[in-house]
A and B are shown apart, each in its own frame.
Chain A
Amino acid sequence: MKLARPVINESGVILLDAGAVLTEEVIAQLSDLGVELIRIEGEPRDAVEAEKSLDQQIADLQARFSRVEKDPLMNKIKGILLQRLREKVKGE
């Protein structure tokens, strides 16, 4: 089990970076530090986003770019974002 997001204290200092392996010892240490919530890899990052299918996320992205779709630069940006969206879903 690995940490999906860094654990950050009140001043924004990273206590444990993303990717760290969560052994029982590490979990106990985090607990001692008063950390109540962590995110582990494989866990949906955002309940709403997680519920959205790839098709829905693509449709949302297309809608956001609907007013600028005729512009080559904006289309290029949209293309990169679409590709990353597909890669992200594939990687999960």
Chain B
Amino acid sequence: MTVDAQIVKKRMGTLRNVPTLPGVFERVISLMEGSSAGVKEVADIISSDQALSARILRVVNSVFYGFPRRISNIRHALVILGFDVVRGLILSTAVFDMMRSGGFISLWKHSLGCATAAGIIAQKTNASSPEEVSIAALLHDIGKVIIKIELPEESSRIDHVLAEKQLSTYEAEGEILGFNHTAVGNWLCQEWHLPDKLADPITHHHTPNLSRIAFLPTAVVHVADALVRGIGFGYAGDDFVPQIDREAWEALDISDALLEEIIKEMDHKLDYAEEFVSGDSSEI
């Protein structure tokens, strides 16, 4: 365990409990971890919570806009997207609830934009599964929400130092807390038993060169984050586009023409994501 992880674990260990997840999540996890889990069983459990199912489908169809086939029910989602993605989707609805009730709609918009961008990049570079990487991108800033909610005093100091010194959120967190939202995200991934392919991009989206397990998906989320901030879709906590890591960029092998194509498609799909955000802020 790194020093960062130890500090976070100690700091977060003082919280009363891990952020709550939909009750159905625990049942789905234990079922999926069993060797005999079948699509029907898992689908039945998720579908038993109608509100959750509706919201999962809403997130599915916003993140995977442009998917060859529209996804109309949970069983369909499980067959097409796989257990890990659906697990991530259940989590995403919980994360969205946290973002919405905490008043972080702009961060949700940034996350949704990042998921859209990551899906496009993954699809055009064949770097990783577009669905999995989209979910990782949707969850990549979860640590920021936890810091805002659980550490309000430090959080306002972060905002203060960020404005005063013109720092990025990542830098300001380091200065005030001694660790960053990525370390909190990593802690949460462990608590929630997320697979490495989701946990690694969440943990290393600012430092893809440190990713040892899922480098390409991490590189995709890293680049998607920078592009979405460049476009100015949503708000990730500060006004600055982060530097793209050279190694991550080269690994994705994005030519100038492909970059233009990616940005063009982002423009189009973000318009669609925008519709969901404006609906989400009032409807769900």
Q: Does B32 contact A (CB under 8 A)?
A: no
Q: Which of A28-54 contact B (CB under 8 A)?
A: 45-46
Note all chain B residues with C-beta closer than 8 A to A45: 271, 274
Q: Give the docked Cα–Cα distance between A74 and B223 (Å).
A: 11
5 smallest A-B Cβ distances: which pairs? A12-B61, A11-B57, A12-B58, A68-B243, A67-B240
Contact A64-B241, Cβ < 8 Å, known A5-B272, A11-B61, A45-B274: yes
Determine if B72 and A11 form an interchain contact, defined as CB atoms under 8 angstroms apart: yes
Determine if B271 and A81 form an interchain contact, defined as CB atoms under 8 angstroms apart: no
Q: Give the docked Cα–Cα distance between A5 and B58 (Å).
A: 17
Determine if B256 and A76 form an interchain contact, defined as CB atoms under 8 angstroms apart: yes
Q: Which of B220-258 contact A (CB under 8 A)?
A: 226-227, 229-232, 239-244, 246, 249, 256
Determine if B263 and A64 form an interchain contact, defined as CB atoms under 8 angstroms apart: no
Total interface residues in chain A, CB < 8 Å: 29
Determine if B60 and A12 form an interchain contact, defined as CB atoms under 8 angstroms apart: yes
Of the A-B pairs whose beta carbons lie under 8 Å apart in the complex, a sample of 10, sorted by A's number, is: A5-B274, A6-B275, A11-B54, A11-B58, A12-B70, A13-B72, A64-B229, A64-B239, A67-B168, A68-B243
Extra pairs beyond A12-B57, A12-B58, A64-B232 (5, CB < 8 Å): A8-B275, A12-B60, A64-B230, A65-B241, A77-B226
Q: Does B26 contact A (CB under 8 A)?
A: no
Determine if B264 and A84 form an interchain contact, defined as CB atoms under 8 angstroms apart: yes
Question: How many A-B contacts are there with CB distance less than 8 Å?
Answer: 84
Contact A73-B249, Cβ < 8 Å, known A8-B276, A10-B58, A12-B62: yes
A68-84: contact bitstring with B at CB < 8 Å (1 yes, 0 no)?
A: 10010110111011001
Q: List chain B positions with a Cβ less than 8 A from chain A.
A: 54, 57-62, 65, 70, 72, 168, 226-227, 229-232, 239-244, 246, 249, 256, 259-260, 263-264, 267, 271-272, 274-276, 279, 283
Determine if A71 and B61 form an interchain contact, defined as CB atoms under 8 angstroms apart: no
Q: Give the docked Cα–Cα distance between A12 and B72 (Å).
A: 9
What does DSSP make chain B's interface, helix, strand, loop or mixed?
helix
Q: Which of A8, A11, A61, A74 contacts B232 (CB 8 A)?
A: A61
Closest chain B residue, CB of each to CB of A5 = B275
Note all chain A residues with C-beta closer than 8 A to B264: 84
Determine if A81 and B263 form an interchain contact, defined as CB atoms under 8 angstroms apart: yes
B262 to chain A, nearest CB (A): 9
Contact A80-B260, Cβ < 8 Å, known A71-B243, A73-B249, A74-B243: yes
Determine if A77 and B271 form an interchain contact, defined as CB atoms under 8 angstroms apart: no
Q: Does A21 contact B (CB under 8 A)?
A: no
Contact A77-B275, Cβ < 8 Å, known A10-B58, A12-B60: no
Q: Give the docked Cα–Cα distance between A77 and B231 (Å).
A: 10
